Structure 1
């Protein structure tokens, strides 16, 4: 069981033939080793997103900000947010054992074991969160573009969706290539959100994945179907 789909941990092309549930199972199987394996390759996207939140939200406001950490995994980003003074943080991830590791940190108020996709999650109220954050989540087999539909619904108008993604992941993913960037800017033209892109140099996100972008999307509507 522990070796189910082990190839998909770092070989993203292998994930193209895996179902979402198989990918969740893969992460469950190495939940206890996840942080060591990924920190060994210099993963820092959780630091990048956490620092951006701290730079853009005044210290006195942070305890009041409701945040959903999407694809939260074992809680690396949640830890960064807590260290910056954020306290109202929920976690969402489809891998239950990853969330069990995150639970030990005592960071999250609520842990939701579910996929983030276009399907409505009735356990989350419309316009509930002030911010949605994600790190190391937009890549092959994890978050796909249609997840924005549900993110838009559950974040308040005026709230933000903040995530960092290596350019390499966009170019190599069948789910993101030729779709992620056009969709982001199409929805901006339609008045769904305002886009703030922050260029990230080689080495800022991780030691191995090259340059990328942090996107901060200020959502202007309650819902958008696409």
Structure 2
């Protein structure tokens, strides 16, 4: 059903997924897993490369091999593919879809795999385990990562580490759930848990959709 999608089909899919349940969302990714990478390439999905490039700007080349990264909503590993090109090796995946993770495993993209949802509740991962969290496209129309999961991301990062996130800009402007995302980010900063390093809007996150990317440093 989701294979060989044209640009118009992708846009339509973004619309019809509004209001889907978690179970429906997971079935959607199970069906899409084996063609996901090819479809994203065909549709000009630039988000993973943008995220990896931003992460690379935070560390010198000689540091990158030992930087511990958790890629949340890892999917088939598109962000990890780009990170590895830039010299990052210690990358772990957190992803609830077994089918998507299996695709990443086939390519040997991660050192460790966590099949878990990311919410405001603690994952099984110990606090302060990582230097960086990446998340690209983890915010969707529904049945995706809640805004409050930012607090769990912060728990997982060492003091001084970073969180780099990217999604479609229209989501944080128009989606009723994600209208609250940036106000929550600001509130977390006001409470002294992290500080904003950068906020960038960029063209063609996918298709003709602009992207937005944030980088925060955990305090």
- Do both share a fold (TM > 0.5)? yes
Q: Secondary structure at the match of 1:102?
A: helix
Q: 5+ residue gaps in structure 1? A: 221-226
- Who is 2:206 aligned against? 206
For the residues of structure 2 that align with 1:73 and 1:49, how far apart are their CA atoms? Answer: 15
Residue 155 (str. 1) matches residue 157 (str. 2)? yes
For the residues of structure 1 that align with 2:11 and 2:23, how far apart are their CA atoms? Answer: 14
For the residues of structure 2 that align with 1:187 and 1:120, how far apart are their CA atoms? Answer: 17
Give the aligned length.
213
Residue 180 (str. 1) matches residue 170 (str. 2)? no
For the residues of structure 2 that align with 1:10 and 1:194, how far apart are their CA atoms? Answer: 37
CA shift at 1:10, angstroms? 5.3
For the residues of structure 1 that align with 2:134 and 2:202, how far apart are their CA atoms? Answer: 20
Q: Is the 8 A contact 2:169 2:201 kept in 1?
A: no
Q: Secondary structure at the match of 2:217?
A: strand
CA shift at 1:163, angstroms? 1.0
CA shift at 1:200, angstroms? 2.9
- Who is 2:198 aligned against? 197
Q: Deviations over 1:27-71 (max 9, x none)?
A: 111101111222222101000001111122111111111100011
Q: 5+ residue gaps in structure 2? A: none
- Who is 1:96 aligned against? 98
Q: Secondary structure at the match of 2:132?
A: strand
For the residues of structure 2 that align with 1:164 and 1:104, how far apart are their CA atoms? Answer: 25
Q: Deviations over 1:198-218 (max 9, x none)?
A: 323322x233212x3210111
Q: Is the 8 A contact 1:69 1:133 kept in 2?
A: yes
Compared CA separation, residues 163 and 16, structure 1 to 2 (3 A): same
For the residues of structure 2 that align with 1:45 and 1:99, how far apart are their CA atoms? Answer: 19
For the residues of structure 2 that align with 1:157 and 1:201, how far apart are their CA atoms? Answer: 28
